[in-house]
Amino acid sequence: MATAPAAIADELSETGEFLDGVAAIVNEGVVLKSQLREQIDVIKERAAAQDMQLPPAEILEEQILERLILSEIQLQRAGRIGLDVSDEMLNRSIASIAQQNGVPFEEMPRLLAEDGMEYGEFRRTLRDEITISNLRQMEVGQSIIVSEREVEQCIADLEGNVVANSEYALSHILLTLPEGASADEVNEVEALAKQIYAQIEDGADFREMAARHSAGPTALEGGSLGWMQGQQVPTLFTEVLQTMGKDDVSAPIRAASSFHIVKVDDLRSAIERSEIDQSNVRHILIMPNEIIDDATAKQRLLEAFDNIQAGEDFGEQAKLLSDDPGSANLGGELGWASPDSFAPEFAQTIRDSEIGVLSEPFRTQFGWHILEVMDRRVYDNTEDLKQRNCDSKIRNGKMEEETQLWMQRLRDEAFVDMRT
CATH code: domain 6-141 is 1.10.4030.10
Compute the distance between CA of residue 22 and CA of residue 63 in angstroms, rounded to an integer: 17
Is residue 347 classed exposed, middle or buried when 0-12, 13-18 and 19+ CB atoms within 10 A define those classes?
A: middle
Compute the distance between CA of residue 372 and CA of residue 382 in angstroms, rounded to an integer: 27
Span 411-415, average pLDDT: 94
In sequence order, the β-bridge partners of residue 30 are: 25
Cβ neighbour number for residue 289 with a 10 Å cutoff: 11
Pairing of strands 275-286, 224-229: unpaired
User: What are the CA-CA distances from residue 46 to residues 43, 124, 247, 380 (Å)?
Assistant: 5, 20, 22, 41
Per-domain residue ranges of the chain? 6-141, 161-272+384-413, 275-380
Class of CATH domain 275-380:
alpha beta
Class of CATH domain 161-272+384-413:
alpha beta
Tens-digit pLDDT profile for residues 359-378: 999 998 888 999 999 999 99
Write the DSSP assignment of 18-80 as a string of letters. -TT-EEEEETTEEEEHHHHHHHHHHHHHHHHHTT-PPPPHHHHHHHHHHHHHHHHHHHHHHHH
Tens-digit pLDDT profile for residues 125-148: 999 999 999 999 889 988 899 999
Rounding to the nearest 10 degrees, give the CA dihedral for residues 144, 129, 338, 313.
-90
Confidence band for 46, pLDDT divided at 50, 70 and 90: confident
Size of the chain, expressed as the number of residues it contains? 420
> What confidence score (pLDDT) does residue 320 get?
94
* Contact indicator for 75, 69 with CB cutoff of 8 Å: no
Half-sphere exposure of 339 (CA within 13 A, CB side): 19
User: What are the CA-CA distances from residue 255 to residues 230, 292, 401 (Å)?
Assistant: 19, 54, 8
Q: Do domains 6-141 and 161-272+384-413 have the same CATH topology?
A: no
Confidence band for 270, pLDDT divided at 50, 70 and 90: low
Assessment of whether the complete model's pTM goes beyond 0.85: no
Is residue 65 classed exposed, middle or buried when 0-12, 13-18 and 19+ CB atoms within 10 A define those classes?
A: buried
Tens-digit pLDDT profile for residues 298-334: 999 999 999 999 999 999 999 999 999 889 999 999 9
